[in-house]
Structure 1
Amino acid sequence: MTSNQSHPKRQSEVIAPYGGSLVDLMLPKADQEKVKKNVRGKLECSDRNACDIELLVIGGFSPLRGFMLKDDYESVIKNHRTTSGDLFGLPIVMDTDREDLVIGDQVLLTYKGQDIAVLKIEEKWEPDKMLEAKGCYGTTSLEHPAVRMIAMQRKRFYLGGAVHGLELPKRVFPCKTPAELRKELPKDEDVVAFQCRNPIHRAHYELFTRALDADNVSKNAVVLVHPTCGPTQEDDIAGEVRFQTYERLASEVNNPRIKWAYLPYSMHMAGPREALQHMIIRRNYGCTHFIIGRDMAGCKSSLNGDDFYGPYEAQDFAKKYSTELSMDTVPSLNLVFTEEEGYVTAEHAKSCNLHIKKLSGTEFRKMLRNGEDIPEWFAFKSVVEVLRKA
C-alpha cells in the first residue's frame, strides 16, 4: 500500500485532524468580557499548565475541548483511551490546592500577568497519584522525572471542565497554531514530523533529512522540524537556548523540503505513552508520518543508570496504533560517524569494519565549558556559538 493511499483526504487537503475537525476554543473578543464577568477567582498557571491550555485552545489536543473529567482521566491511565474510545497517551488535567473552588465555578486562568483562559469546573477530585504514575509511566519511583513532578509539583486536587481561550501565552518561541501551520504544508505530499527536546546537532540533521528517503514516504515529502519548547527534564538546556540553536540553523539551511516550527508542549519523559501523545498532536498539526528514535522520550534512574523503558518500546507501541491514527511511523536510523565514510548506519559501519568516532553529552558539555574546539561532525559551528554564550 502506498503512503498516499493509507491516509484520508490526502490529494485535496492536508490530513484531517484526529477526530475529524480541528478544535478552536478561542473566544471572540466581543464575548470575552462577558465571560470574564462571571468568573469566581483566579488560578495562576504553572509552565506546564500553560502549555496544556495553549494546546487545548488551538486544537493541538483535538478532539479534546477542555481538561479531562475524572472518568476520562482514569480511562486514559488504564487504557490510553478516553471513555469515548479516542486514543490519548497521557491525561490532561488542571491542578490546584484551593479547597474553596467548587463544581459550577468559572475560574480565570492566568499566566505571568496574562489572562489566558476561563475554566468552567465540571468535576473536582483528589487523584490517586501513585496509580497515575504506575499507569502512565510504568513506575512509582521518584527517580522518574514525571513521577516526581506529579507527586511533588502538581497540587492536591484535579479540575476537569470546558476551557474558553482568551489569549495565547507570550513566548520566546514563536509557536504557530495547527491552523496556521496547515496552511504552509503541501496538500498532496507526506509530512514527516521530527520531535526533539534538545539543541539541534549534526546527527539530528542527518537523521531527519534521511527520513525523507524512507520507503513509506512520498517522493516530494517535507519534514517538519517541530521541537518542544515547554518544560523538560531538570538538567536539560533551557528552552530559550534550545530555541536559539534551531533559529540559527534554520536561517543557514536553505532547503524547501524542511519546515521549521515550535510546539508549546511540556515533556513527561513517558517513553511509549509519550510517543503516542506526540503522534496525536502531530497529526493535528498536519503530519502524516512521525520519526521515532531509539529510546524516544526515555529517561534513566539517577541511582543505577538503568533505563525505565526498553530501547524500542516506544517504537513498537506507536507502530501498534499507527493505522488507527492514519499515520505512519519512520524508525529513526541508528547513525554513527565514521572516519572513512562520514555518517552511516551502525550496521553498515560494523559490517565494513569502519572506525567510529564518538562524543558523549558529558564530554561535549565539558569541552564547551573549557572553550575547546567542537568537531563539526558532532555539532554545527553556529549552534556551538549559541551554546557557548549560554
Structure 2
Amino acid sequence: MKFSLAILAVAATTVTTAFTIGSPNRAVSSSKSIVFGPSSASVAIRARETQLGAAKQTPHGGKLVDLILKTDEEKAAAIAKCTKELQLSPRQLCDVELIMNGGFSPLTGFMDETTYKHVVDNIALPDGLIFGLPVVFDTDDEDLQPGDTVLLKDGDRDIATITFTDKYLPNKAYECKKCYGTSEIEHPGALMVATERGKYYMGGKITGLNLPIRDFVCKTPAEVRETLPDDVDVVAFQCRNPVHRAHYELFTRALDDPLVGPGGVVLVHPTCGPTQADDISGVVRYKTYEVLKEETKNDRTRWEYLPYSMHMAGPREAIQHMMIRKNFGCTHFIIGRDMAGSKSSVTGEDYYGAYDAQDFAKEKGPELGVTPVPSLNLVYTEEEGYVTADEAKERGLNEKKLSGTKFRQMLRGGEEIPEWFAFKSVVQVLRENV
C-alpha cells in the first residue's frame, strides 16, 4: 500500500472546517489518467502594470506586471520599511523572480488564502482568469505575521520586499490531490509539498529590488519580448533536460505545423530552476543549451532561459507553462507526450496518460489565448533518419532506439554515443560535468 500524506490530511482537516471547499474538478481513473473540469469565476488580483507593444502576443490578463524599482533611492526607501530579513529557498527565489518581472502576470505577490483555494479548486484566479498552479510563500516561522514587511535575500543580495497580508494552514493533501491528481508521496510534486514546504503559507505583496545573479542570464519577459518579431507567430519549446537530436527535430519541424503561420520562429525556453531529484542540475543543463545554440544557429530559433521551479504536475503544469510563455510573448506552445509527467518512485507507474496534457491544453488553449502545437512522435530510422512513428510503421522502416537509462550507462562508461541520438557537443558537456 502506498504511503500518502495521511498525517498532513488529518492535520489540515482540523483547520479547514471553517470554509466550504468546492466540488472536485477532476476525477482520477484507475489508470491514473486525469480529467479536468471547467473553471469558475469571481473577484481578482491586479496592480501596477506596464503595457508592452513588443511581440505579437498580449500578456496574460492584458498587461505585463513590472514590480522592480528603478532607482537606488526607491530601493533604499523600500528596505527601510522592513523589520525582518529572510533567506529565500531556491524554489522561492524562482517564484519571487517571476512575480516581480511579470512572468507570473497578473500576479503581484504570493497568493492569499482566498486566491490559493480558488486556483487549487478551479484552475483560475477568483475573477475566472485561467491559472494553472498556486504560487505560495511557505514558512515554518511562527513569528511572521500579517502586516510584517520583510526583506527577502539570496545570500547577501537584496532581492525583494514583501508585505504579508495573511497567514494560513493549507490542506496540503487536498492541494496535492487537486493539483497533481494524487497525494501519494511517491509523486515528486507531492513529495516537495510535504517535505520541502513549510507548515504555513502566507500571502503578500512583492516589491522588486534586484534580479538574482545566476550562472546564466534569465531575461525578463519585457527583455525577451523586445527580441521577438511582432508580426509572426512565436512557438515556445519547454524542456528541463539536455536537448538531444529528437528534441531538436521536434521543435524545428513544429514551425511547419499548419497551426503555425508563415515565417514563425521558435523560442527554446528551458527551465533551469529546481526540478525532480534525479534530473541534471540547472547549471549543467544550461551549458548543454549554450553549446547547442552555437552549433545549430539559425534565424528562426531563439534561446532564452527560465528561472522556474518544476512541479511535475502534468496537465496543470502544461497550462502554467503556456501561461508563462504567453507573458514572454509566445503565441504557440509545443506540447509533448506526457509533458511535465512523472512516475511513482516506488512502482514506476505513470501518474498521467501520454496525451492528458495535450488534450487539456487543447481544451484550455482558446481560453488562455495560446495555441497548443502537439509534438510529433518522431523515431529514428536507418533508411530515412527521423520520421514520424506512423510513417516508419507504414513503410516498414527499421527503427533504432536508445533508452535514457542505456544512454546514461554509456555516458558513464565512456562509450561512443551515436550522433543520431545526441549532439557531440552536448555529450562532451555531459561527460565533463555529470
How far is the alpha carbon of 1:254 from its aligned partner?
A: 2.2
Aligned equivalents of 2:411, 2:62: Cα separation in 1: 47
Of 127, 145, 149 in structure 1, the residue corresponding to residue 188 of structure 2 is 145
Alignment of 1:363-374 (within 5 A): 363-374=406-417
Q: Does 1:160 align with 2:203?
A: yes
Aligned equivalents of 1:173, 1:90: Cα separation in 2: 26
The code of the aligned residue for 2:116 comes to Y
Aligned equivalents of 2:124, 2:252: Cα separation in 1: 33
> 1:5 maps to which residue?
none
The code of the aligned residue for 2:64 comes to L
> 1:6 maps to which residue?
none
Measured against aligned partners, the alpha-carbon deviations of 1:91-122 in whole angstroms (never above 9, x if no partner) come to 00111111111111101111122110101000
Of 35, 59, 72 in structure 2, the residue corresponding to residue 17 of structure 1 is 59
Measured against aligned partners, the alpha-carbon deviations of 1:113-165 in whole angstroms (never above 9, x if no partner) come to 21101010001111111111111101010000110011011001111011000
> 2:70 maps to which residue?
28
- 8 Å contact kept, 2:54–2:226: no
How far is the alpha carbon of 1:301 from its aligned partner?
A: 1.0
> 2:11 maps to which residue?
none
> 1:87 maps to which residue?
130
> 1:69 maps to which residue?
112
> 2:252 maps to which residue?
209
Of 172, 183, 192 in structure 2, the residue corresponding to residue 129 of structure 1 is 172
- 8 Å contact kept, 1:12–1:188: no
Measured against aligned partners, the alpha-carbon deviations of 1:168-193 in whole angstroms (never above 9, x if no partner) come to 11111211111011011011000000
- 8 Å contact kept, 1:65–1:163: yes
The runs of at least 4 consecutive aligned structure 1 residues that moved more than 4 Å come to: none
Aligned equivalents of 2:116, 2:378: Cα separation in 1: 38
Identity of aligned pairs, percent? 59
How far is the alpha carbon of 1:323 from its aligned partner?
A: 0.7
C-alpha RMSD of matched pairs (Å): 1.4
TM-score between the two structures when normalised by the length of structure 2: 0.86
Alignment of 1:310-325 (within 5 A): 310-325=353-368
Range that drifts further, 320-329 or 199-208: 320-329
Aligned equivalents of 1:346, 1:82: Cα separation in 2: 40
How far is the alpha carbon of 1:13 from its aligned partner?
A: 4.9
| Helix, strand or coil at the partner of 1:323 | helix
The code of the aligned residue for 1:22 comes to L
Of 349, 357, 363 in structure 1, the residue corresponding to residue 400 of structure 2 is 357
Measured against aligned partners, the alpha-carbon deviations of 1:76-96 in whole angstroms (never above 9, x if no partner) come to 111111111111111001111
User: How many aligned residue pairs are there?
Assistant: 382
Aligned equivalents of 1:127, 1:293: Cα separation in 2: 32
Aligned equivalents of 2:180, 2:407: Cα separation in 1: 30
Aligned equivalents of 1:223, 1:35: Cα separation in 2: 39
TM-score between the two structures when normalised by the length of structure 1: 0.96
Of 390, 397, 407 in structure 2, the residue corresponding to residue 347 of structure 1 is 390
Q: Does 1:231 align with 2:274?
A: yes
How far is the alpha carbon of 1:12 from its aligned partner?
A: 8.5
How far is the alpha carbon of 1:28 from its aligned partner?
A: 2.5
Aligned equivalents of 1:33, 1:61: Cα separation in 2: 25
Aligned equivalents of 1:130, 1:304: Cα separation in 2: 20
Aligned equivalents of 1:314, 1:173: Cα separation in 2: 29
> 2:334 maps to which residue?
291
